[in-house]
Amino acid sequence: MKNFATLLIAGAVLASCQSVGTSSGPGLQPIPGSITYGGQPRQRLQKSPVGSTVPHIFTDQWGERVRETYILQPDRTLKLVNRVYLDSPFD
């Protein structure tokens, strides 16, 4: 019984450890208004250090404010890692 309780607690802890938008798989997809919607921007960030974060706040196609966070990759492209809806009624 003691082993079952330990296993149950460990499973609950692991289930709560989700990384939001940081997976290397399909993860977050750009939406209209995102910097990377329709491809990478033409202008590259040359002076910013690799690994720096780039915040972007915009209004989406439904009129909600969205904050996205990007990370500058070694090849100077932006990777979308986080998205938060600022006007969400569910917050």
- Give pLDDT, residue 26: 62
The residue ranges of the chain whose pLDDT is under 50 are 7-8, 10-25
Phi, psi of 81 (to 5 degrees): -120, -15
Mean pLDDT of the chain: 78
- Give pLDDT, residue 52: 96
- Give pLDDT, residue 87: 74
User: Which tokens belong to 7?
Assistant: 């296993």
User: 34 Cβ partners below 8 Å, 6+ apart?
Assistant: 56, 58, 68, 80
What is the pTM (predicted TM-score) of this model?
Answer: 0.65
- Give pLDDT, residue 50: 95
- Give pLDDT, residue 54: 95
Q: Domain spans of the chain?
A: 2-85
